[in-house]
Amino acid sequence: MTRAHGLHTHLLTRNDYQAMLKGRDTKSVSDYLMRGDYGPLLEGAPAEYPSALHLAKVFRSLLVSRCYRLVGIAPENCRVFLEAYLERFLVEDMKRILRAKHAGRVTDKGSLIPIPKGYERVNLQAMADAASFQEAVGTLAKTRFRGVVDAVSVYEKYHFISIVEAFLDKAYFDIEVRPALGGLPGRPAIGEMIGTEEDLLNVKMLTDLRARKVSVDAVRALSFKPANLTRGELAAISGATPEAIPQMVAKTRYSSLAQPLQDALESGKDESLDRVVRLEIHRRTKSVIVRCADTFAYVLAYFREAETESNNLVSLVTGKEVGLAEQRIQAAICT
């Protein structure tokens, strides 16, 4: 925990983001970050106008280094959980490969999170080299994520990539994270954090797919086991029309999400729904940092904050590269 507290002081502050938002381009962001932990990794960046793709590789490399550094010094029972939790990086890489297949693009290897040697539990190269989306999913048939193969028939009916992504998330929590929770110090707070993320991703998935007119039966098959929601609340949300889902959420412990969810639905933008959920997870993670500073839950909260920083920076440099206004970029980051 002491190491996590020290590393947390290295994370960027709201003032850092404000300074970078006012910069003109990706080079101004790169120059600003040279003074901190990113400096050694940025030394190889092009002298003029480093691309957002190059900078994103740097951000993800530091994220992986920060997290696995703590895994290496954690006690055995904590280490097993942290390794399971960090399978989320592998899940994200699988999603990126499958999104490329869905769109008929070649996977850009530079867009993937660099999984350390010894932790590559899925052959991502084989998945990326597969000739089709279905073949790429098929490479998971002999892995712990083999249940995702069952998503192909639903995907082929509706042709939404978010269907397969929901299956991956479900497998991640059911197979990797939940079984590793037993015997952890600070178990209640950690269980709350994991459960909150499960519930909010559930709400996001249900809202997204119901808005796309996916059947109630299909979305219920995709949903996770409820953590802090009751089965009745989850059933009400999954059975509601998209317009009524915020009203259902308002009756749960996640009532603060209801109005932002309503706004996201009215905007009709996928990224708005994603941002609403990310912000709520971020807000609740901040609460854990304050309440559980002396427990193992703080380590998990640090991982969450480090991941948020990496995603924020990717959004920031991508926005700068395509010339988005400062307000648009600010709306895409969590601080």
What pLDDT digit, counting tens, does each position of 275-284 carry?
999 999 998 8
Question: In the CATH hierarchy, which top-level class contains the domain 187-291?
Answer: mainly alpha
With pLDDT > 90 as the criterion, what percentage of the chain qualifies? 72
From the CB of residue 53, how many other CB atoms can be counted at a distance below 10 Å? 14
Instruction: Check residue 230 and give its pLDDT.
Output: 92
- Whole-angstrom distance, CA of residue 185 vs CA of residue 190: 9
Query: Domain residue spans in the chain?
Result: 187-291
182: left (phi over 0), alpha (psi -120 to 50) or beta: beta
- Whole-angstrom distance, CA of residue 232 vs CA of residue 248: 11
Q: What is the CA angle 5-80-62, rounded to 5?
A: 50
CA R_g for the chain: 20
Structure confidence by residue, pLDDT tens digits, 1-16: 577 778 888 999 999 9
Question: Tokens representing 218?
Answer: 């299909």
Structure confidence by residue, pLDDT tens digits, 270-316: 778 889 999 999 988 888 777 777 788 889 999 999 999 999 999 99
Instruction: Check residue 46 and give its pLDDT.
Output: 65
Exposure string for 23-50, b = 16+ CB within 10 A, e = fewer = beebbbbbebbeeeebeebbeebeeeeb
